[in-house]
Amino acid sequence: MSDILVAIGTYFSDLGTGLMGGAEMFMTWNNVLTIFFGVFIGCFFGALPGLSISLAVAFVLPFSFSLEPLTALSLLSAVYVGAIYGGSISAILFNTPGTPAAACTTADGFALTKQNRAGKALQMANLASMVGDVTSTVLVILLFPLLAQVAIYFKSPEYFALILFAVMIVGSLSGKSLVLGLISAALGFALSTIGMDPIEGSGRFDFGNVNLLSGISFVPLLIGMFALPEFVAQLTRARRHDKPSAIARSVEVDSNDKLTREEFRTSLPHMVRGGLIGLVLGVIPGLGATPAAFVSYDQAKKRSKAPEAFGTGSLEGIAAAEAGNNGVNGSTLAPLLTLGIPGDVVTAIMLGALLVFNIQPGPMLFVMHQDLVYGLFIALLMCDLALRVVGLIFIRLGRHVSRLPTSYIFPGIITLCLVGTYSVNNNVFDIGVMIAAGVAALVMGRCGLPVIPLIIAFILGPMLERGLRRSLAASHGDPMVLVQSPIALVFYGLTIIALISIIRSNRKRGWPHKADA
């Protein structure tokens, strides 16, 4: 018994020491300002309908490479946190979710706006985003060292099983159809095989071209696939006078319209629960912010004293939805940092960034770069503080930001995307890749093929191949090694269960699937 107590004591004292080290590494003006800047950029992209979270993160990615690793990861996280929150602003004000994750906030938020209570709704969304995120981040910090210890048991066969699971889940969850999602994932996997063989280093499908030999770079592919289609969509609807800006002109936001203590107290349980739901759904690869918002909203409605108000302007509903989608922020990092598995596009982008910095996520990350991991946790908590401060500015400005004519903003963003793409590898070839990826994404969009499985499979494909080939090399070619590990068997089982349930829910059409991260 006392052994357990000692073990627990050591666990928390190690955690405390780690956090102190992380804080020491993080606490520079440079990092703190980066967080505020990142949250601001994120809010901006989130509040503008038509600019997605993935685009926001992809947009800052090339610029982050010139920063220190911790600063760069802080920037990417801050943009993500800001964008998830920013999506609620246009959802509340114009009935147009700035991001898919904010779709759940739309009904109650816009209802409140029509009742001239937009100020309260915006305040509630901001508070709930913060509380939800803090709840899940604190829990992730407390549990992380445990996760990192489990990760050491993942050898090559276990990795293979885990990545197979992740590819299946991500490929199938992010589109309307399982088959189309898997086709898209197969395309991503095929693209990832171009270039040097990840094991032997010999060239594949390079046609003797040294640029192809180095493989398709992740950044141009990503920016091309996210930015160009949005740009073209913007061009084709530029003439149309959109409804949001018409509504926006008539909306009045009284920023003194503060929440009462009572309103906050009734909503607080929904916020904490939302954070917990976000935590759980965030850890599972492929789910993410949108389902977390809907599940949290649903739970809040069941437990509320005033369920009839949900959908017609309930502050509790906004609290639940926003806490749910923000609760995902911290926990999606857990599988990325411990196992190197990205659960959604944003963590896939962060994985790309880590690899550029020569930092290999996985069990060794916690051993080799403990300060970096704890520094990132401190950064996440700082994001919440920044969210509150920047959020208050956006409550005043949001109406004007969401109304900005995107036809003026997009050319600037596209130019910066081009510059950013080039600057990563200083290679003109990458600009060609970016344009080709953009055209491909447009064609895929026309065919109904989702882009996200392609991106994730592009990242996970080489990892799957490595896991398989390393397992075989280490077992002297005996394929039985793949099914001898209990951990691997658990993941094969989970893959099968997940596939069955997805096929079923696709028939029934459950809650909306994540269309965009």
Partner 1 sequence: MTGKTLTRRAALSVAAMTATVMAAGLALAQDFPDKPVRLVVPFGAGGATDLAARALANVLPEYLGQPVAVVNVPGAGGAVGVTQIMETDADGYTMIMAAIGALALRPALSPDLNYSYDSVSYAARTQINPNVLILPDGAYEDFAAFAETLANADAPMRYGTAGAGQVTHLGPIMLAESLGLAADSIRPVHYDSDNGALLALMQGEVDFVQGNLPSFSSAIEAGQVQALAVTTPERLEALPDVPTYVELDHPDVSIVGWRGVAGPKDLPEDVLTVWQDAVKQATETEEWLEAISSLGDEAGYMPSAAFTEFVANDYDRYRAIAENIGLR
Q: How far apart are CA 316 and CA 286, in angstroms?
A: 27
Among 221, 277, 281, 356, binds partner 1 (CB under 8 A): 356
Burial class of 472 by CB neighbour count within 10 A (0 to 12, 13 to 18, 19+): middle
Strands 195-196 and 203-204: antiparallel
Q: How many Cβ atoms are within 10 Å of 460's Cβ, its own excluded?
A: 29
Binders of partner 1 among residues 475 to 494 (CB under 8 A) are: 476
Check the CA dihedral 105-80-52-354 and report its sign. negative
**Cα–Cα distance measured from residue 78 to residue 38, given in angstroms and rounded to the nearest whole number:** 5
Give the chain's length: 517
Both ends of the chain: CA-CA distance in Å?
45
Nearest approach in angstroms of CB 215 to partner 1 is 8
**Which residue, 1 or 210, has its beta carbon nearer to partner 1?**
210
| Smallest separation (angstroms) from partner 1 to the CB of 302 | 45
Smallest distance, partner 1 to C-beta of residue 343, A: 21
Interface with partner 1, residue 211, by CB under 8 A = yes
Q: Which is nearer to partner 1, 388 or 470 (CB)?
A: 470
Q: Which residues pair with 204 in a beta bridge?
A: 195
Q: Is 342 in the site for partner 1 (CB under 8 A)?
A: no
Q: 3-state class of 195 per DSSP?
A: strand
Beta carbons of 341 and 154 less than 8 angstroms apart: no
What is d(CA 481, CA 478) in angstroms, rounded to the nearest whole number? 6
Q: Which of 111/191 has CB closer to partner 1? A: 191
φ/ψ (deg, to 5) at 175: -145, 180
Residue 3 near partner 1 by CB under 8 A: no
Q: For residues 120-179, which are near partner 1 according to CB under 8 A?
A: 152-153, 155-156
- Among positions 447, 473, 483, 500, the unique one binding partner 1 when judged by CB under 8 A: 473
Q: How many degrees, rounded to 5, is the angle at CA 191 between CA 188 and CA 193?
A: 115
Chain-centroid distance, C-alpha 109: 23
Which C-beta is closer to partner 1: that of 87 or that of 362?
362
Q: Which residues 450-469 are close enough to bind partner 1 by CB under 8 A? A: 466
**Among 26-34, 77-85, 259-267, 355-363, the segment contacting partner 1 (CB under 8 A):** 355-363
Q: Which is nearer to partner 1, 200 or 308 (CB)?
A: 200
When binding is defined by CB under 8 A, the residue of 95, 193, 214, 245 that contacts partner 1 is 214
Compute the least distance from the CB of residue 186 to partner 1, in Å.
23
Between 72 and 81, name the residue whose CB sits nearer to partner 1.
72
Indicate the residue among 138 and 212 with the shorter CB distance to partner 1. Answer: 212
**Binding to partner 1, residues 402-431 (CB under 8 A):** 425-427
CA atoms within 13 A on the CB side of 182: 11
Binding mask 177-206 for partner 1 (x = CB under 8 A): ------------------xx-xxxxxx---
Candidates 1-9, 62-70, 316-324, 447-455: pick the segment binding partner 1 (CB under 8 A): 62-70
Element (H, E) at 419: helix 406-425
The DSSP bridge partners found for residue 196 are 203
Amino acid, single-letter form, for residue 449:
L
Residue number, 383 or 488, with CB nearest to partner 1 = 488
Could you write out the three-class secondary structure of 40-95?
HHHHHHHHCCCCCHHHHHHHHHHHHCCCCHHHHHHHHHHHHHHHHHHHHHHHHHHC
How buried is 500 (Cβ within 10 angstroms: 0-12 exposed, 13-18 middle, 19+ buried)?
A: exposed
- Given the complex with partner 1, which of 130 and 463 has the nearer CB atom? 463
User: What does the alpha-carbon distance between residue 50 and residue 47 come to, in Å, rounded to a whole number?
Assistant: 9
Of 18 and 282, which has the nearer Cβ to partner 1?
Answer: 18
Interface with partner 1, residue 285, by CB under 8 A: no
- Rule CB under 8 A: say whether 299 interacts with partner 1: no
# chain residues binding partner 1, by CB under 8 A:
39
Judged by CB, which is closer to partner 1: 392, or 436?
436
Please report, as ranges, the residues that interact with partner 1 according to CB under 8 A.
Answer: 65-66, 69, 152-153, 155-156, 195-196, 198-203, 208, 210-211, 213-215, 217, 356-360, 362-364, 368, 425-427, 466, 470, 473-474, 476
